[in-house]
A and B are shown apart, each in its own frame.
Chain A
């Protein structure tokens, strides 16, 4: 009996019990579609993080106040609690490190912007005029403020798209005045839309003002939390990192055994950290979904065992008229493979549909992974073989005399 015949016989046996076959397959369908959907969510997240990181520029470095190992107690870096990074430090970096092209400090303040009767709570970032170049982020309309604005601590502001949309719905914000802590700031530009950052925050919900203005007029201190530094090229980032570290250690007068009171990170480190997190998430989601595949497999075994018992007489007949044990075993094995593989294929279809629907429904990025699809097909075939083998062996091991007598 050739393989095609057996597959036909198997299909017919399954069609005879449509409802049962469908319910049995459901376990595999849910398992496979869950694996595919989960992996595509994970991969989608990873891809968008990669894209954002690349969009920020691979020659970007972060210099932040406080040590890097921000544990529970030293929740230092960038929250304003530390005072170890100064504007002078940044000036020194700009002047003395040859591999550095541009530097901009960032001073963050969580503030309310008011326009007549509208208000909007947002982050105001105090930065230098080099910020658009460092971040590779241009304005959409108007201009970014100038070096002169920074020197004079001018009350000018550049709005992110989200703020512009909310404070000036349908109107042009350029030249308008926005009140921040009761001080009027003139809108000179609106940034291009940027989207979410790797942590999922809306980057367009940010306004930019000269850091001098933010420090003196809004916060009343001279702290710098984070500085963005761009190296002259991507290859120079590691050199820049080392040179900045040396320079800051000298300036902070740290002896050889003292730890850094600042941290310098490059985008590659950030990207690797983000990737690692995403990989763990993908694996976690995938393996939870994998468990449901396993449960689906057990369902198949259960039904195949019932089927063997129900069809004992049929097995007896087949053996009496000349079927070898191996032919009977093959028949039941193929039945279970057909069951799990059909379930797997439906599951793939469903998983892909879900993966396509998720970005539309809840806005998460997804990326359908070919590896997950191929893996699911292989896995469901393996489930069919693994969980079908025992029932098939049981069928093949029946004694034809006993089987024929079975009522």
Chain B
């Protein structure tokens, strides 16, 4: 049983929701039943586990409307979603389902038209552009499909970049970056530029970059979209390790079912609403799969 599952069970028991796995489609109501106030009250009762059960993301009736010319496009029509610390959630949906908009809102790149978003205990739904930049700097890490590393800049400097904006001093920046690169298996590649790294390695640099400011949450937007299947498994292995060994909360947007199966929980979007929200009882184990895969070219670094 993973830490996240334990957490869900704990909080489930407290709010008198049956301890069984939540049926598909019931998850939304289940999470909605716990209001923040109630949650705080309970947190005091179960002190040791309360820290782990803290919600990182609380979306309440989020609406997002774009005006394109005269036409109003309702990208999100009342999304409510709670993601707790240590969860590994995959967000799925076809294009136009609202998953990217949700991602942008969760990532504080965009603001909801209506509704409330509490990130790590802070209401960020009304924050200004600068405040959101600070929140991104302190609480969020991003991993993109296209890696989005600065070209002609070494891996080390790419990883140091978020700390530059967070005002962390040079020595600390260096040691944290080295550590982050080591943790994603890129020790010795610190001074390579992105064009000297494979796609998988570039994505690992991006993961290291998302880690260095010790965010409350890492958002990965189609992180395996540009990678072949083996490299995809390698990247998912890193995500699973970060989640299980370091308890990092992960939100992964993907449209591939087999990638979503590495997560513990899947939220499916359709037409601006959450269509399904279910837990995966036996997520795929990337580590084990890698061992079973034929040894093509094991990364020597």
A residues near B (Cβ < 8 Å) are 1, 5, 16, 313-314, 316-327, 400-401, 404
**Is A321 a contact of B150 with CB atoms below 8 Å?**
no
Cα of A1 to Cα of B137 in the assembled complex, Å: 12
Q: Collect the chain B residues with CB atoms within 8 Å of residue A318's CB.
A: 161, 165
B residues near A (Cβ < 8 Å) are 104, 107, 109-110, 129-130, 133-134, 136-138, 140, 142, 144, 148-150, 152, 161-162, 164-167, 209, 213
Cα of A327 to Cα of B134 in the assembled complex, Å: 11
Contact of A16 among B138, B148, B152 (CB under 8 A): B152
Contact of B162 among A313, A321, A325, A326 (CB under 8 A): A321
**Is A321 a contact of B209 with CB atoms below 8 Å?**
yes
Cα of A16 to Cα of B152 in the assembled complex, Å: 8
Cα of A321 to Cα of B163 in the assembled complex, Å: 9
Q: By DSSP majority rule, is chain A's interface helix, strand, loop, or mixed?
A: helix
**Is A325 a contact of B130 with CB atoms below 8 Å?**
yes
Known: A400-B109, A401-B109. A322 touches B166 (CB 8 A): yes
Q: Collect the chain B residues with CB atoms within 8 Å of residue A404's CB.
A: 144, 148
**Is A313 a contact of B109 with CB atoms below 8 Å?**
no
Contact of A321 among B104, B129, B136, B152 (CB under 8 A): B136
Q: A316-B148, A400-B109 are in contact. List 5 more A-B contacts (CB 8 A).
A: A318-B165, A320-B142, A322-B213, A323-B165, A324-B133
**Is A319 a contact of B110 with CB atoms below 8 Å?**
no
Cα of A313 to Cα of B150 in the assembled complex, Å: 9
- B220 to chain A minimum Cβ distance, whole angstroms, is 13
**Is B150 a contact of A317 with CB atoms below 8 Å?**
yes
Cα of A320 to Cα of B109 in the assembled complex, Å: 7
**Is A320 a contact of B164 with CB atoms below 8 Å?**
no
- Which residue of chain A lies nearest to B107 when distances are taken between CB atoms in the complex? A320
- A395 to chain B minimum Cβ distance, whole angstroms, is 14
**Is A1 a contact of B134 with CB atoms below 8 Å?**
no
- Which residue of chain B lies nearest to A403 when distances are taken between CB atoms in the complex? B109
**Is A322 a contact of B165 with CB atoms below 8 Å?**
yes
**Is B137 a contact of A321 with CB atoms below 8 Å?**
yes
Q: Which 7 A-B pairs have the closest CB atoms?
A: A322-B137, A321-B162, A324-B133, A322-B165, A322-B136, A323-B165, A317-B148
**Is B142 a contact of A326 with CB atoms below 8 Å?**
no
**Is A322 a contact of B109 with CB atoms below 8 Å?**
no
**Is B136 a contact of A320 with CB atoms below 8 Å?**
yes
Cα of A401 to Cα of B104 in the assembled complex, Å: 8
- A4 to chain B minimum Cβ distance, whole angstroms, is 10
Q: Collect the chain B residues with CB atoms within 8 Å of residue A314's CB.
A: 150
Cα of A314 to Cα of B158 in the assembled complex, Å: 11
A-B contact pairs, 7 of them (CB 8 A): A1-B164, A1-B165, A322-B162, A322-B166, A324-B134, A325-B130, A401-B104
Q: Collect the chain B residues with CB atoms within 8 Å of residue A325's CB.
A: 129-130, 133
**Is B130 a contact of A326 with CB atoms below 8 Å?**
yes
Cα of A96 to Cα of B69 in the assembled complex, Å: 97
Q: Collect the chain A residues with CB atoms within 8 Å of residue B137's CB.
A: 321-323
Contact of A323 among B107, B133, B152, B213 (CB under 8 A): B133
Q: Collect the chain A residues with CB atoms within 8 Å of residue B209's CB.
A: 321
- Which residue of chain A lies nearest to B133 when distances are taken between CB atoms in the complex? A324
Q: Collect the chain B residues with CB atoms within 8 Å of residue A321's CB.
A: 136-137, 142, 161-162, 165, 209
Known: A319-B133, A401-B104, A401-B109. A324 touches B148 (CB 8 A): no
Q: Collect the chain A residues with CB atoms within 8 Å of residue B133's CB.
A: 319, 322-325
- B111 to chain A minimum Cβ distance, whole angstroms, is 11
Cα of A269 to Cα of B260 in the assembled complex, Å: 93
Cα of A49 to Cα of B129 in the assembled complex, Å: 63
**Is B150 a contact of A322 with CB atoms below 8 Å?**
no
Q: Collect the chain A residues with CB atoms within 8 Å of residue B152's CB.
A: 16
- Which residue of chain B lies nearest to A15 when distances are taken between CB atoms in the complex? B152
Cα of A321 to Cα of B136 in the assembled complex, Å: 6
Q: Collect the chain A residues with CB atoms within 8 Å of residue B149's CB.
A: 317
Q: Collect the chain A residues with CB atoms within 8 Å of residue B150's CB.
A: 314, 317
Cα of A324 to Cα of B129 in the assembled complex, Å: 8
- A8 to chain B minimum Cβ distance, whole angstroms, is 10
Q: Determine which residue in A322, A324, A404 has the highest number of CB atoms from chain B within 10 A of its CB, and name it.
A: A322
Known: A320-B107, A320-B136, A404-B148. A5 touches B164 (CB 8 A): yes
- Which residue of chain B lies nearest to A327 when distances are taken between CB atoms in the complex? B165
